[in-house]
Structure 1
């Protein structure tokens, strides 16, 4: 098409002057044709051809313009679609970035909470370790005491051996728990993610271990109370045997205990209904009152166990006059209050244990709350 246009333009330049003169009825000065009619006919044919060529060219140009316009419209539509897609992608990306920022903030908050929780757990573990150390020291002291008593009290060798074995088991269990706690602490300090996955399991283990340890400590306290009561009775009896200068017929000694607990006792005389020993028959298990069968110097000892943080305060009284006081505090459950008094009694004087404040007491089939007295001279 370009070639056709160039040929037409060259041809027009060649015949321009002659053609103009013919169309304007002027005489061409450059014409080389001798016959004007012949020249006119040829010029008309040339113009016709040129017009035809121009028409074809214009049609092609219009067609190309239409095609270009169509392509431009398609490009605009595609550009609009692309812009919509880009806008949608941008919006979605902004939303995802916003969501990710929110998730990051939540993760930071959770991370801070986990760090605080870890510090609290470490503090709790340290406190538990200190308690375990105190329990271990207490167990060591008790072992020494039990071993000493096992040497001095021949009739209780088997019981003390069993108790010693029990304390050894408690000590081993305590060491195992302490070792496990140390391992858990190291693991917890190693990584925060591992702490998160193991935290609940560790808490459950600690709760189970603490419950088991508290149960063992409860059993230990019960055994300790039994041993303390037995030791007190034996020690008092030994003192009585050593210091007594009385005639064997005038020996007076008794030990009585309570064989069941009470959570409501809050007044009057504490009646020790179970008689373990009653030499001289001075103690009355029905009233809880000791009446001296002979005049002399007497030693009285009372051990009372408060009931589950309810507080307990009682007095040893002589003929309605309080002489000494013992208290079972309520800072922890089942605290033992003990006291001893030496009194000069006349024949017929009465001694008993009187309620002062608080309520209830704890005991068992083997008494933990006891009342002991004997004549020393």
Structure 2
């Protein structure tokens, strides 16, 4: 495109030069070929003026062509600079588009994971609802049984009162008979024999009454055991119902470990890369930080093994504030430092293990350097 513009400018300059030449002659040739003897003095002056004008016009055209060439070079430089800027902008835009595509893919994956989690939560809620309905039915049956046992106990109490009254009457009768026997001790044999028969009959009645009382007492004790068992079952049911209705997010516990040693670690967070247990998903094995999913009282325990007399000192940290310290001394190889702390955390509080001094740590595929925490209430 630049070459085309340059050719056009040169063409215009040439056309203008030819046009000016034709002012002095109809054909493009030197005027010295005319016969000067045929030209009068007036025409010579006109001719000279025309030559001077042609020379001036040619000079101006050359200046204009040079100016146009200079402008063309300036335009070419600006065009090259503009093309470079456009190329850089295109590269930057492509990078940004690529990054945005990656973020979109990540968001799609995260959205799919959230949908799956929502589906699982909905299924768990349906199961909990079914369990709650079954528990409600069981509770209704237990209430009916308790009412029936209560009615039975009330009836047994009435029977026991009646038995007590009969037993009291028998005791009174016995006393009367004994008194009568003492008064009539010296009576005749026939009367004594009759009294003995009455006494034997009374004893038989007393034995029968005693057996009946023992049977009633045994039945009463059995019913009491049933009531105690029912009350225990109700208590267990209440406890199970309380546990089953608890928020499952209240169960928080984790144990993480380091699966390899380091001889150079000397700053920042100690990352326990393997999560052995992570109930509640509070611990992040990528960052080494535990984030409290719920408010409560937590226990944290850390074991750190120093590497071959290199000395190691670390802190258990809550929200960047050191809470307790542990160290592995350098008087012998692989000294172990341990410590435990109980912390009250709010939801979103963070706890991790931070380097203080020394360097390196020792561990293995079965971890020896570990980080543990759990919710206690």
TM-score, reference length from structure 2? 0.38
TM-score, reference length from structure 1? 0.38
